[in-house]
Amino acid sequence: MKRPQILLALDWYHPNIHRGVALFAKEHNWHLSSKTAFHHKLPTDWTGDGIIASAGARKEFRDFVENSTLPLVTIGRTCFGKPLVRDDNDKISEMAVNYFLNQGFRNFAFYYETPHSRGERFAEVLREKGKECTLLFPTDKQFLWEKNWQRLKSKLKSLPKPLAVFCADDNTAVEILEICYDSGIKMPEEVAVLGVHNDPIICENSVIPLSSVDNNHFQIGYKAAEQLYKLMNDEEVEPELYIPPSHVEERLSTDIVAFENIEVVKAMRFIKTHYMEPISVDDVVASTSISRRTLYTVFKEQVGRTIHNEILRQRLRQVEVELEQTDKAVKDIARDCGFQHVRVFNSVFKKNYGVTPNSWRKQFKA
């Protein structure tokens, strides 16, 4: 039987998208032609079975996608009437808001070179929660780099601290880090910065390591291939499929607890450092200088959760990452994330997610 011939034609490249497509191709015995994804030269006489493409800045790619008569699925922003798979900007922004709120921040800003849907949703969710957000867009239409740099320096110095800055992508987040570094603004003590894409080459080589929302490029690639498979087999496909982000990869740029009460900060620091160990509420209390009853009251007041529930939240957040990104047995994940008994872990997980850990993993990877 002839192997289906699939073209991966990307005018912008991300290795995790390629990995997602490649896994589906391997599972379904496709021959995947990936050369175009690297050198951006479109074939003129290609006669395969299906195409996965992205079309952005390059006109020849947009024309190729729009004029193709083969089964074709697009990745990214433009679809030209073709089925589209892309990241979910609303979910990305909501994850950023919840992450910063869980860190105790009360002052927020968003930065990108132009107005962006991620910033709009970030500000909207904060307003819904009674918080304000400063939008740090360039004011000059020509976007003069040096002028914008000086303007941002001045603005970042003037905004109340500690400040949580969300950026539309990792590159603009690195720009904020560099401005803070150049201005003598302490990071993350005064300004904490969060990007999007979780590109390790960028995030781990900035002036300080950058925290970033992982927008799940692997799943985007895998789901695009799945949509193409359906299209090639005359099955119904969704016109637009939005993939939610997987997690926040926390690095030094946001490694701060910003609550007002110093004892709550001590408690949160202890939980963040030791949640994967079999710690109890008594251990958290012992890390502070106040009584159990007093800590319970101020912790609940400022964090919005009990100490016990915060320990569980931190553990379950790591469990999600382990279930999504590894093939480890559930019992090993439970132990590694601080749960001493698998039965208790299964019960806690089902109470919070409505399904068992194995079912949740299957749903995520489906």
Residue 275 predicted with pLDDT over 80: yes
Q: What pLDDT sits at residue 140? A: 56
CA atoms within 13 A on the CB side of 156: 29
- pLDDT at site 12: 83
Asked if pLDDT for residue 87 goes beyond 90, the answer is: yes
Residues 6+ apart with CB under 8 A from 345: 330, 334, 339, 357
Predicted pLDDT of residue 38: 80
Confidence of residue 85 (pLDDT cuts 50, 70, 90): very high
> Contact 357/323 with Cβ under 8 angstroms?
yes
Look at residue 321 and tell me whether its pLDDT is greater than 90. Answer: no
User: CB-based contacts of 227: which residues, under 8 Å, 6+ apart?
Assistant: 73, 83, 85, 237, 238, 241
Q: Whole-angstrom Cα distance, residue 100 to residue 207?
A: 21
Give φ, ψ of 263 to 5 degrees. Answer: -70, -35
**Which residue in 221, 241, 219, 226 sits closest to 27, CA to CA?**
226
Mean pLDDT of 268-294: 93
Q: Residue 107 pLDDT more than 90?
A: yes
Report how far residue 112's alpha carbon sits from residue 220's, in angstroms, rounded to the nearest whole number: 23
Residue-by-residue DSSP string for 135-162: EE--SSTT--HHHHHHHHHHHHHHS-SS
CA dihedral 242, 247, 250, 253 (to 10 degrees): 20
What mean pLDDT is reported for the chain?
Answer: 90
| Coil, helix or strand at residue 31 | strand
| Residue-level pLDDT at 66 | 85
pLDDT the model gives residue 22: 94
Query: Is the confidence at residue 327, as pLDDT, over 90?
Result: no
What pLDDT sits at residue 143? Answer: 52
Q: What is the dihedral of CA 282, 283, 285, 288, to 10 degrees?
A: 160
Convert the pLDDT of each residue in 123-181 to its tens digit.
999 999 999 999 987 655 555 566 778 888 999 999 999 999 999 999 999 999 999 99
Contact present, 4 and 50 (Cβ < 8 Å) = yes
**Region for 304 from its dihedrals, namely left if φ exceeds 0, alpha if ψ lies in -120 to 50, beta otherwise:** left
Count of beta carbons in the 10 Å neighbourhood of residue 194:
28
**CA–CA separation, 208 and 47 (whole Å):** 48
Supply the pLDDT for residue 237. Answer: 93
* Cα angle, residue 75 at apex, residues 72 and 79 outer, rounded to 5°: 65
Q: Quick count: other Cβ atoms within 10 Å of Cβ 354?
A: 9
pTM of the model: 0.83
Q: How many other C-beta atoms lie within 10 A of the C-beta of residue 2?
A: 6
SS3 209: coil
Residue the block writes with tokens 């947009």? 62
The answer, yes or no, to whether residue 37 has pLDDT greater than 80, is no
Is 330 or 40 the better-scoring residue by pLDDT?
330
Looking at per-residue confidence, does 325 or 229 come out higher?
229
Percent residues over pLDDT 70 in the chain: 96
DSSP secondary structure string for all residues of 70-124? S-EEEESS--TTS-EEEE-HHHHHHHHHHHHHHTT--EEEEE-SS--HHHHHHHH
Half-sphere exposure of 200 (CA within 13 A, CB side): 2
Is the Cβ–Cβ distance between 264 and 300 less than 8 Å? Answer: no
Q: Which two tokens stand for residue 330?
A: 């559930």
Domains assigned to the chain: 5-87+217-245 (3.40.50.2300), 89-215+248-254 (3.40.50.2300), 262-357 (1.10.10.60)
Taking the C-alpha atoms of residue 16 and residue 303, their distance in angstroms, rounded to an integer, is 35
Q: Would you call 248 helix, strand, or coil by DSSP? A: strand
Q: What percent of the chain has pLDDT over 90?
A: 67
